[in-house]
Amino acid sequence: MLEEIIIAGFGGQGVLSMGQILCYSGIMENKEVSWMPSYGPEMRGGTANCITIISDEKISSPIIAKFDTVIALNQPSVDKFENAVKPNGVFLYDSTNVIKPPTRTDIKIYKLEASNEALKMKNTKILNMIMLGAFLKIRPIIKLENIIAGLKKVLPERYHNLLPLNEQALKKGMELVN
């Protein structure tokens, strides 16, 4: 198993922590993991992204240009990474605020009204968990229970009261994929 992912969105949407949760959870399943964030000026006001690689074998390059899965949380990320998906790869995006959707026909496109769903659940910050849940439904590379264990590692202890809500959000994301 080798899954090469890029997760992109605005700073503050939780894209970096999505990648970190995947990595922590991957380690629990004895997988090799690599997480490379964008850092520096492009994060400020523009898009933040992280390349996350989960593999059964040793990972060579942490820097790659083509991905099995792109998870895009805003319009600039949709624009920037549509062409970075490998043929037959997965393009998962939050369509709530996207007016120009992806158009490629050689990839599997999944759109989710994730921001709206997060609003309905009364916490816009769980948008990333809804998206992560959807991803895990499409590409079940890690068990949900380990994702929740990984979440505990990434979420500072003072927010651990929010763990049940995050779990609900993950499950919501899974439901929303058809």
Partner 1 sequence: MGELKLMKGNEAIAEAAIRAGADAYFGYPITPQSEVLEYLANEAEKRTGMVILQAESEVAAINMVYGAGGTGKKVMTTSSSPGISLMQEGLSYIACAEIPCLLVNVVRGGPGLGTIQPGQSDYLQATKGGGHGDYKLLVLAPNSIQEMVDFVKEGFDLAFKYRNPVLILTDGVLGQMMEKVELFDQIPRSKEIPSWATVGKPPNRERNILTSLNLQPELMEKHNEHLQAKYREIEKNEIRVETINCEGADYIFTSFGLTSRICIKAAQLAKEKGIKIGIIRPITVYPFPYETYAKYADKVKGFFDVEMNAGQMLEDVKLGVLGKAPIKFHGRMGGMVPTPDEVFHVFEEKFLGGKE
Q: Where does this chain bind partner 1 (CB under 8 A)?
A: 20, 23-24, 27, 32-37, 39-41, 59-66, 153
Are the C-beta atoms of 21 and 128 separated by less than 8 Å?
A: no
Residue partners of 103: CB distance under 8 A and separation at least 6: 82
Number of alpha carbons in the 13 Å side-chain half-sphere of residue 156:
1
Residue partners of 128: CB distance under 8 A and separation at least 6: 9, 13, 14, 15, 17, 18, 73
Are the C-beta atoms of 6 and 49 separated by less than 8 Å?
A: yes
User: Residue 85 or residue 112: which is nearer to partner 1 going by CB?
Assistant: 85
CB of 116 to partner 1, least distance (A): 31
User: Residue 36 or residue 155: which is nearer to partner 1 going by CB?
Assistant: 36
CB of 67 to partner 1, least distance (A): 11
CB of 49 to partner 1, least distance (A): 13
User: Residue 17 or residue 77: which is nearer to partner 1 going by CB?
Assistant: 17
CB of 35 to partner 1, least distance (A): 4
Strand extents, DSSP E, the chain = 2-10, 32-37, 47-55, 67-72, 85-94, 108-112
User: Residue 21 or residue 174: which is nearer to partner 1 going by CB?
Assistant: 21
